[in-house]
Amino acid sequence: MFEIGNSLREARLRRGVDFAQAEVATKIRGKYLLALEEERFELLPAQTYVKGFLRTYAEYLGLDGQLYVDEFNSRFVSGADEHEPRTRRSAARPERRNRRLETNVVLLALGAVAILTVIVISAWKVSGGTTPATKPTTSVVTTRTGAPPPLLTVTALRGSTHVIARVANARGNVAYDGTVQEGDAPVGIRGRRLWVQIDSPENLRIQVRGKLVHVPGLEPRVIIITATGWRPA
C-alpha cells in the first residue's frame, strides 16, 4: 500500500512540472489533477474517470499507470455503482449548508456577547468607576477570558475566498468549509493540526495561535497548520 496522492505530487515536483503544463500535456483539467494529488476522488465525475485520469497522469509523470489504478481499486472501489462519488458529494451539500448555518449562528452569538460587554463596561465607567480590572476582548473568536486563541483565524482583506479546513490531514473530518468575505467577522478554527485548502491566500489575513503569518499566492494552495506555524502540504 502506498499514498497515491503524495507519490504523484512528488513525481511532478521532481520533474519540475506545474499544473498548467500537466493540463496541456494530459488534456486533464488542472483541478482534477489537484484532486488526484489530494486523493479527493469525490471531486471527479465517476470512478471510470478516476481510473483513466490516474493512469494517464501517472504515465505522464513516468510512473506505472496500472499500479496506481490497482492501488485505487484495492482501497476505494467496493463494487458500488461508478457514480457513487457524485452521489456522496450531492449528499454532502446539505451537511455543508448546515455547518455554515451553525457557524453563522455562533458568530452572531459572539457578536451579541461582545456588544453586551461594551454596554456594561460603558455604564460602569459613567457611574464613576475606575479602569476595570478585566478589559473586554476585541477578538470575536475568543469566547472566555484567558482562553487560548483558535489554532487558525482567517479574516478577508478583500473580495471573497473559499476555505476548507480538515482535522489532521486531507482525509480528516471537516472542521470548516465556507467562503470568507470582506467585511465579515474573523473565522476561528480550533484544533491541534489542520489541513487547509485556501483559494486565494493573498486575500486573507491569517493568524496561527493569534500570531500573524504570511501565506503567499493568488492561486489555490494547500497548507498544514500546527501550533508552531504553517508549512506546505
Q: Are 72 and 50 in contact (CB under 8 A)?
A: yes
Domains belonging to the chain, first-starting first, are 4-76 (1.10.260.40), 87-232 (no CATH)
- Most distant CA pair in the chain, distance: 79
* pLDDT for residue 89 is more than 60: no
Q: Which residue has the higher pLDDT, 92 or 30?
A: 30
Residue ranges of alpha helices (H) inside the chain are 4-15, 19-26, 30-37, 47-60, 65-76, 84-126
Q: What is the pLDDT of residues 10-27, one digit of tens each?
A: 999 999 999 999 999 999
Binning pLDDT at 50, 70 and 90, where does residue 142 land? very low
Residue 195's pLDDT is what? Answer: 94
Convert the pLDDT of each residue in 40-88 to its tens digit: 999 988 888 899 999 999 999 999 999 999 999 998 887 544 444 444 4
- The mean pLDDT value for 121-143 works out to 54
Counted residue by residue, the chain has a size of 233
Q: For the ranges 32-41, 55-64, 119-128, 180-189, which has the lowest average pLDDT?
A: 119-128
- The closest of 9, 146, 1, 121 to 73, measured between CA atoms, is 1
Instruction: Give pTM, 2 decimals.
Output: 0.39
d(CA 39, CA 34): 8
